[in-house]
Amino acid sequence: MKSYVITIMNMERSVEIAQRCIDSAKTFGIEVEMFKAITPKDNVYKIAEERGINLSGFDERYSRKENAIACFLSHHSIWDLSVKTNESILVLEHDAIFVNGVDLKMNFKGLISLGKPSYGRYSTPRDGISPLTSKGYLPGAHAYVVKPNAADDLINKSKVCARPTDVFIDRKTFSWIEEYYPWPIEVKDTFTTVQKRTGCVAKHSYTEGFEII
């Protein structure tokens, strides 16, 4: 199984915290590689059109539209890689860190969230693998494992209506989403490259000085 941390390669701070993610994974015997992120400078509308992605769900008040689309396209690129290689992939965002070990070869249906919710209210799942419990959608897209069959489903649904990555991956649309608890991965963030201020205030790590880049 491959493990990737989505990294904005031309942003020093993104590379630094992605390396922090890689180092934290190593302490639990997990090898993670950087994966080049798509950014708003990459003409996200053209890329989305080429991939047949319906962007109508990105008109919302919490995120900067082009940044949220770029983030989604980065995840979409990894889903596509999972399908093409017929291999499960651990997907991480640059501000994720490992706080515990986890068996990435665990038996799950298609996509399993490994990340502690990073914003808002949430429910605590039972120990082990269970249906997605903490929220009705992915509690932040910072840590999950996706199988090729699930990746293919995500890609196909994005042609109907894509949204910011975490709320796109919801249990109503994808009933097979699961969650692992205790959460082995958390977010440690002091800045965002996606959200607006209205989207930041619900973050558990939000404090005075939190930066929007």
Rounded CA-CA distance 176/199 in Å is: 27
- Give the model's pLDDT for residue 136: 96
Share of the chain above pLDDT 70, in %: 91
When pLDDT is averaged across residues 82-103 and rounded to a whole number, the result is 97
**DSSP for residue 173:** T
Is residue 102 within 8 Å of 114, Cβ to Cβ?
yes
- Give the model's pLDDT for residue 83: 98
- For the packed helices 65-85 and 148-158, what is the interaxial angle rounded to 10 degrees? 140
Rounded CA-CA distance 92/141 in Å is: 8
The answer to which of 37-41, 63-67, 138-142 has the lowest mean pLDDT is: 63-67
Per the structure block, which two tokens stand in for 175?
Answer: 């009933």
- Give the model's pLDDT for residue 78: 98
- Asked if the model's pLDDT at residue 202 lies above 70, the reply is no
Is residue 113 within 8 Å of 139, Cβ to Cβ?
yes
- Asked if the model's pLDDT at residue 87 lies above 70, the reply is yes
- Asked if the model's pLDDT at residue 128 lies above 60, the reply is yes
Rounded CA-CA distance 138/168 in Å is: 8
- Give the model's pLDDT for residue 190: 65
- Give the model's pLDDT for residue 89: 98
The answer to which of 53-62, 73-82, 174-183 has the lowest mean pLDDT is: 53-62
Is residue 159 within 8 Å of 54, Cβ to Cβ?
yes
The alpha carbon of residue 188 and the mean position of all alpha carbons in its chain are separated, in whole angstroms, by 14
- Asked if the model's pLDDT at residue 204 lies above 60, the reply is no
- Give the model's pLDDT for residue 118: 84
Rounded CA-CA distance 35/10 in Å is: 12
- Give the model's pLDDT for residue 210: 73
When pLDDT is averaged across residues 171-196 and rounded to a whole number, the result is 86
- Asked if the model's pLDDT at residue 29 lies above 70, the reply is yes
- Give the model's pLDDT for residue 191: 61
pTM for this structure?
Answer: 0.92
Q: What are phi and psi of 95, to 5 degrees?
A: -95, 10
Q: Which of 171, 172, 140 is nearest to 75 (CA)?
A: 140
Average confidence score pLDDT of the chain: 92
HEC-encoded secondary structure of 1-52: CEEEEEECCCCHHHHHHHHHHHHHHHCCCCCCEEEECCCHHHCHHHHHHHHC
From the number of C-beta atoms within 10 Å of its C-beta (0-12, 13-18, 19+), residue 44 rates as buried
